[in-house]
Amino acid sequence: MEASGSFAGMLRSQRHRVGLTLEELAEASGVSTRALSDMERGRALGPQRRTVLLIADALKLEAAGRAEFVALAKAGRARSAYLAAAPGLCELPGSIGDFTGRAAELAWLYRLAEEPVDGPHVAIVSGGAGLGKTTLVVRAAHGLRDRFPGGVLFVDALGMSRRPVASDELLSRLLRALGVRTQHIPDDAAEKAGRYRRLLSERQVLVIVDDAQSEAQVRPLLPGDGRSLLLVGSRRLLSGLEAARRLHLDPMPVPDAQDLLGRIVAERFDPRDEDLTGLVELLGGLPLALRIVGNRLISRPGWSAADLVDRLSAAERRLEQLSAGDLKVAAAFGMSYEQLPAATRQMFRRVSLVAGPDFGTALAAVVGDVGVHDAEDQLDDLVDLSLMGTAEGGRYRFHDLVRLYAHQRLEVDEPSGTVTAVRDRMVAWLLETMTAAGLWFEPDGAQSRFASAEEADQWLRVESEHWLPALGAAALAGRHDAVVRATSALHWYSDRWVDWPRWAEVFMLGHDSAERLGDPGRQAEFLNYVAWTHTLPWRDKRNVLPYAERALALARAAGDLLQEAWALAYTARALGPLGEAAAAMTAVLQAADLFEQAGDVDASCQAWIERGDLQLRLGDPDAALASFRRAQQTVDDPASGMTTTIADYTRPHVLIYLGKALGVSGQAEAGRAMMQQALDILEREQQPLEYAVALQALAALYDDGAVEARDNLLRAAELYDNAGLPDAAARMRAAAAEHGPAPR
Amino acid sequence: MIRNVVLVHGGFVDGSGWLGVHRLLTADGFTVKIVQNPTLSLAGDAAATRFVLDALDGPAVLVGHSYGGAVISEAGTHGNVAALVYVAAFAPDKGESVDTLIADPSPGDPVPPILAPRDGFLFLDRDKFHGSFAADLPADEAAFLADSQVPWGVEALAGTVTEPAWRTRPAWYLVSTQDRMIPPHAQRAMAARAGAVTVEAIGSHAVYASQPGAVADLIRQAAGSADH
């Protein structure tokens, strides 16, 4: 066999062996073409066992070949225990092979997809927990694939979780999946939605939003006119969405439920077995419960359906002491739970302590107190029994009814001391891991635990729903050293993820713990980070001042020059845009002085640039020129002590500023030469947006009506268009028009 | 959009402090109910809150100030609660109470001027009320609050939360940064632990009365993003 030792290689060779195209394999396995193609190219991190088995079935792999195939897939996963695929592919999950019933509902959805409509085309499938909404919607989407050549996109809105996904984030994911690059996705919510609607009107796309929470969450995702369709699954009716067509799911009718159970257990039971009917009566028409019980039945060869009926009735009686949820469902869960090996049972109940909507094997291993491989095996067993679901990127997710059940088992089956100990261990592990991840981005930070900076970055993003609450819990438990260590390790990293709205909360926790520890220098440092979060372009600059002011006082008390300088620099950065250039100037001069005393060349250079900018605003171009030249010397002098990467990044900006200042002081030609240098660098560095900014600055150095000014603005407009920023492009075109009509 | 708001006051005071918030939110068309919880026991206050929740026609934002945070953590699992808003409030975890949360103050934390219990009830030192509880209210209003204190039952402080609602409901938190009753650092830590979206307001512990605008803003946000 030419399996070449990799899952990707074996998948490809086995597909060729049976003579299937990617599309045919997708059809046969229910796994999407894109997912298969990613797996063959080694791009998929680690397909779930269930997916691997679906593919193995479709490839008709048996015995040894099958075992090797599964083992290779698993080896691929083990390497990525920390890592999850970035959400944003919006991959449609595979459809369940033994899907049964719901024929009328499917027909309704298929018919709806064909109907011409005026206005947005929207359908909502609503219904209670465990009725199989997701399964139905996914099944329908697979059936409708051909009808939507523009693609089928699936997003999980996590509506029943504690923290549903914001519509803004859903839009970003969908835009990425529609091929818009991350850096080209507009920040502005309205612009984002506009771009999404335009793409949907140009193509024919099926968008599925599963587990939607509310009208407000879905509304920005409505398509405009065109032939795209939005399909929403929700536990709620979402009656506020006026134009939508609605389908409400009820429990399955008894014959369908019987049929479903019969199919699940077909390899061992006669579907007409009367005891199966008894089971259906006990469970009601809830597919989730039927699936869990059915899987239990076939994994216990010694049992008959009659045994199960007896046990289930007993379980239902036993469960009467448990309060939450539907008793029948809880009994079905109990059936499976009680037959699990002790270690898997422990894993099942303990992962209910995880706060976020989904989790990876590494965190599960910590709460389960087992190795990562064991955790993975246990979780996979739970997935096979339908007690656990899977999420994007090889992660796991509870159905919320099952989670409720698991949590109740935790309370009944573990002493409360254990629960506290498990929580503490989880908190400690999250803090240690976030510290290790953050240190990857600190200058001279240790590089441990993760294989690469990208992996550390991914972990911090994906696990933020877990580590931020852990920080709070650690602070309440008085573990201030650990809190300070963890938050301070994130300082440089926060610069890589500036659009995360919660940095101020993180750094305030660091500040509070530093205060508990009696460390004013550290307090000042954290307050400066908080101030920084408010200096970001889309934030209200007024909020910078109180934090910077307090940081300044603390830094002075602690005799910390560098933090004093930063507090002043942030004050200046806020005062400038607030129209207080003179006060800002005072602050920036003091900051520059202190940076120099403290010997921080990088910051010093930045202060010179800011000083020049303020001098320009205050109408003193000569002084500004001197400041920018000073910055330029620092950037260009290899012996200045400036960090090379920062100098390289800063150089074109200094040139642009110099060009501007020269223009204002009547030396337009010299200014244009500076701009040209900046443009050359930016072109080499492939920074199209910065390039557009420089073009705009260059245009300002020509006289009104100059052809060059108009051309530069039109080129900038083109770049903005390519970057998916139509509003900026329109502004450029309008400015260009003021220099005369565009060439034909 | 959620149209119901239920407000739960804390210890030493009654529901009348919510006047400003009530005014702002009813002007926006919200239906606002104020729980007059007797603050004798946590179970009793949770029951008083559920009594109000039972009578609503739809989902609500449940808001608690100070000790009211413990009450909403306990009563917030009610089916009509779609979101929780904590205002300078306690957010106990399962098995925690106000007592356990204040048991171990950090060095440097302000000490609330609570007098020794009298017949099982707590009072604040009348003369220190203004500075400690309501520094940003006018002196005469603070004096009125000090003289109209509601006795706070020690049993209420000892009541442990059984199933914290913030574990299953979206939460928002308003931190009052000049609070001398519940230190801001404790507020931030409880907020983070609860996964709450946190906003800060420069104000005293009486922020619910002194800055009704900030409180109403946060409630509107919660009502807008946690639809039912």
The structural domains of chain A, with segments of one domain joined by +, span 7-78, 103-248, 254-413
Q: How many CB atoms lie within 10 A of CB A268?
A: 15
Q: Does pLDDT of A350 surpass 60?
A: yes
Tokens of A242: 């006026």
> Using CA atoms, how far apart are residues B13 and B145, in angstroms rounded to an integer?
7
pLDDT digits 0-9 by tens, A412-452: 899 888 999 999 999 999 999 999 999 999 877 888 999 88
Integer angstrom CA distances of residue B106 from A502, B67, B94, B111, B185 = 25, 20, 22, 10, 10
Tokens of B165: 């609602």
- For residue A403, what is the nearest residue in chain B, using CA coordinates? B168
Q: Phi and psi at residue A225, in whole multiples of 5°?
A: -70, 160
| Residue from B188, B202, B221 to probe the interface with A (highest A Cβ count within 10 Å) | B188
Q: Does pLDDT of A84 surpass 60?
A: no
**Given the DSSP bridges, would you call strands A389-391 and B121-122 parallel, antiparallel or unpaired?**
unpaired
pLDDT digits 0-9 by tens, B48-89: 999 999 999 989 999 999 999 999 999 999 989 999 999 999
Q: Does pLDDT of A5 surpass 50?
A: yes
What is the per-residue DSSP string for A624-686?
Answer: HHHHHHHHHHHHH-GGG---HHHHHHHHHHHHHHHHHHHHHTT-HHHHHHHHHHHHHHHHHTT
Q: What is the radius of gyration, based on Cα positions, of chain A?
A: 30
Q: Are A591 and A565 a contacting pair, CB within 8 Å?
A: yes
- State whether A216 and B188 contact (CB < 8 Å): no
Q: Does pLDDT of A384 surpass 80?
A: no
Closest approach of B154 to chain A, Cα-based (Å): 22
In percent, the amount of chain A with pLDDT more than 70 equals 93
pLDDT at A429: 97
- State whether A216 and B224 contact (CB < 8 Å): yes
Q: At how many degrees (to 10) do helices A544-558 and A520-535 cross?
A: 160
The pLDDT of A573-593, averaged and rounded, is: 92
Q: Phi and psi at residue B122, in whole multiples of 5°?
A: -105, 150
- State whether A472 and B184 contact (CB < 8 Å): no
Closest approach of B169 to chain A, Cα-based (Å): 5
* A125 vs A355 pLDDT, higher one: A125
- Name the one residue in this structure whose structure tokens are 């007592």: B99
Among A255-259, A301-305, A518-522, the minimum mean pLDDT is found in: A301-305
DSSP helix/strand/coil, B65: strand
- State whether B1 and A240 contact (CB < 8 Å): yes
Instruction: Name the range with the highest mean pLDDT among A284-298, A307-321, A344-358.
Output: A344-358
**Closest to A308 in 3D by CA, of A345, A257, A259, A273:** A273
- State whether A472 and B200 contact (CB < 8 Å): no
Q: Does pLDDT of A87 surpass 60?
A: no
**Closest to A564 in 3D by CA, of A555, A573, A574:** A555
* A269 vs A114 pLDDT, higher one: A114
Q: Nearest 10 degrees: CA dihedral of A190, A191, A196, A198?
A: 110
DSSP helix/strand/coil, A115: coil
Q: Which amino acid is at A703?
A: D
Tokens of A90: 């919006």
Long-range contacts of A678-683 (CB under 8 A, 24+ apart): A678/A652, A678/A653, A681/A651, A681/A652, A681/A655, A682/A652
ipTM: 0.86
Q: Are A333 and A398 a contacting pair, CB within 8 Å?
A: no
Q: Which residues of A333-343 are buried (b: 16+ CB within 10 A; e: fewer)?
A: bbbbbeebeeb
Helix (H) or strand (E) holding A247, with range, is strand A245-248
Q: Does pLDDT of A47 surpass 50?
A: yes
Tokens of A230: 């939005």
Instruction: Give me the numbers of helices (H) and strands (E) for chain A, helices first please.
Output: 36, 7
Q: What count of residues does chain B have? A: 228
B189 closest CB neighbour out of A213, A214, A472: A472
Q: How many CB atoms lie within 10 A of CB A520?
A: 19
* A279 vs A79 pLDDT, higher one: A279
pLDDT at A324: 39
Q: How many CB atoms lie within 10 A of CB A367?
A: 22
> Using CA atoms, how far apart are residues A590 and A586, in angstroms rounded to an integer?
6
Q: Which residues of A touch B1 (CB under 8 A)?
A: 215-216, 240
pLDDT at A3: 38
A512 closest CB neighbour out of B169, B188, B194: B188
> Using CA atoms, how far apart are residues A380 and A3, in angstroms rounded to an integer?
24
Tell me the β-bridge partners of A154.
A208
Q: What is the radius of gyration, based on Cα positions, of chain B?
A: 16
Helix (H) or strand (E) holding A241, with range, is none
pLDDT at B15: 97
> Using CA atoms, how far apart are residues B163 and B168, in angstroms rounded to an integer?
9
Integer angstrom CA distances of residue A153 from A143, A334, A434 = 14, 35, 32
> Using CA atoms, how far apart are residues A286 and A250, in angstroms rounded to an integer?
9
Tokens of B163: 């199933």
> Using CA atoms, how far apart are residues A669 and A673, in angstroms rounded to an integer?
7
Closest approach of B21 to chain A, Cα-based (Å): 24
Q: What count of residues does chain A have? A: 744
DSSP-derived letter for residue B118 is B
> Using CA atoms, how far apart are residues B171 and A577, in angstroms rounded to an integer?
34
Q: CB-hemisphere CA count at 13 Å for A399?
A: 28
Q: Does pLDDT of A315 surpass 50?
A: yes
Instruction: Name the range with the highest mean pLDDT among A308-312, A340-344, A352-356, B3-7.
Output: B3-7
B185 closest CB neighbour out of A240, A473, A512: A512
**Closest to A501 in 3D by CA, of A187, A190, A215, A728:** A187
A355 interfacial to chain B (CB closer than 8 Å): yes
- Name the one residue in this structure whose structure tokens are 């010997």: A599
Closest approach of B163 to chain A, Cα-based (Å): 11
pLDDT digits 0-9 by tens, B175-226: 999 999 999 999 999 999 999 989 999 999 999 999 999 999 999 999 987 5
pLDDT at A544: 95
> Using CA atoms, how far apart are residues A454 and A433, in angstroms rounded to an integer?
15
- Domains of chain B as residue ranges with CATH: 4-225 (3.40.50.1820)
Integer angstrom CA distances of residue A643 from A562, A594, A635, A649, A650 = 17, 19, 9, 10, 10
In this structure, is the dihedral angle defined by the CA atoms of residues A77, A83, A86 and A87, taken in order, positive or negative? positive
Q: Does pLDDT of A601 surpass 70?
A: yes
Q: Which residues of A touch B226 (CB under 8 A)?
A: 213-214
Superfamily of domain A7-78: lambda repressor-like DNA-binding domains (1.10.260.40)
Q: How many CB atoms lie within 10 A of CB A271?
A: 13
Q: Which CATH architecture has domain A254-413?
A: Orthogonal Bundle (1.10)
Q: Are A170 and A152 a contacting pair, CB within 8 Å?
A: no
Q: Which CATH architecture has domain A103-248?
A: 3-Layer(aba) Sandwich (3.40)
Q: Are A169 and A182 a contacting pair, CB within 8 Å?
A: no
> Using CA atoms, how far apart are residues A189 and A169, in angstroms rounded to an integer?
10
Same topology between domain A103-248 and domain A254-413: no
B193 closest CB neighbour out of A217, A469, A508: A469
DSSP helix/strand/coil, B35: strand
pLDDT digits 0-9 by tens, B84-120: 999 999 999 999 999 999 998 888 899 999 999 999 9
> Using CA atoms, how far apart are residues B228 and B224, in angstroms rounded to an integer?
10
pLDDT digits 0-9 by tens, A692-737: 989 999 999 998 888 999 999 999 998 888 877 778 888 999 999 9
A214 closest CB neighbour out of B166, B202, B227: B227
- Name the one residue in this structure whose structure tokens are 């908080």: A530
Q: Does pLDDT of A398 surpass 90?
A: no
Q: How many CB atoms lie within 10 A of CB A713?
A: 27
The pLDDT of A278-287, averaged and rounded, is: 78
Q: How many CB atoms lie within 10 A of CB A682?
A: 23
